[in-house]
């Protein structure tokens, strides 16, 4: 019985000693530390964070673009680093549906509403 108490006491002592000196406990004990998401991000998320820090809020060109002239001579340019991209056209301002079409590199395409679009090469991030 006495040996059991000694072992439990040693286990508690070693557990409490280990928990106060481990890197994780020091990390949580330091309340001034604020993790930087850039340090933990990797891959495409890290590229997005770096682009946002550089002032580019839409690094992958996914935001809605207001159409320009959209004629055959001046088509709406859509950027992509891929060979093709799915593009949606809201044909009329009060339309409740989107007409989707695939655009291919350096190929102009006309939507059913008459607006022209063209996919242009963009260098990847
Ligand atoms: Zn359209």
Q: How far is CA 117 from CA 53, 84, 107, in A?
A: 30, 12, 8
Tens digits of residue pLDDT in 100-112: 999 999 889 999 9
Q: What is the CA(51)–ligand 1 centre distance, in A?
A: 31
Residues 57 and 82 in one domain: no
Residues 75 and 55 in one domain: no
Residues 58 and 70 in one domain: no
- Is there a domain that residue 99 lies in? yes
Q: What is the CA(98)–ligand 1 centre distance, in A?
A: 8
Answer whether residue 15 shows pLDDT above 60. Answer: no
Q: Give the rounded percent of residues in the chain with a pLDDT score beyond 90.
A: 51
Residues 97 and 119 in one domain: yes
Q: What is the CA(112)–ligand 1 centre distance, in A?
A: 6
Residue 36, pLDDT score: 85
Tens digits of residue pLDDT in 46-91: 999 999 999 998 888 888 888 888 999 999 999 999 999 999 999 9
Q: What is the CA(119)–ligand 1 centre distance, in A?
A: 15
Q: How far apart are CA 9 and CA 14, in angstroms?
A: 9
Residues 54 and 97 in one domain: no
**Of the candidates 43, 46, 81, 39, which has an alpha carbon nearest to the alpha carbon of residue 62?**
81
Residues 71 and 97 in one domain: yes
Q: How far apart are CA 72 and CA 60, in angstroms?
A: 26
Residues 79 and 55 in one domain: no
Range of the domain at 40: 36-62
Q: How far apart are CA 73 and CA 56, in angstroms?
A: 29
Q: What is the CA(122)–ligand 1 centre distance, in A?
A: 23
């Amino acid at each position: 019985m006495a040996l059991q108490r000694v072992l439990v006491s040693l286990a508690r002592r070693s557990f409490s000693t280990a928990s106060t000196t481990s890197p994780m406990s020091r990390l949580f004990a330091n309340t001034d530390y604020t993790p930087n998401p850039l340090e933990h991000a990797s891959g495409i998320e890290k590229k997005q964070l770096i682009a946002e820090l550089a002032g580019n809020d839409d690094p992958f060109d996914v935001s809605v673009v207001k159409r320009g002239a959209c004629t055959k001579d001046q088509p709406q340019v859509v950027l992509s680093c891929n060979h093709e991209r799915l593009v949606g056209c809201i044909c009329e301002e009060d339309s409740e549906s989107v007409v989707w079409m695939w655009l291919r590199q350096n190929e102009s395409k006309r939507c059913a509403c008459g607006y022209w679009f063209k996919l242009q090469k963009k260098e990847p991030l």
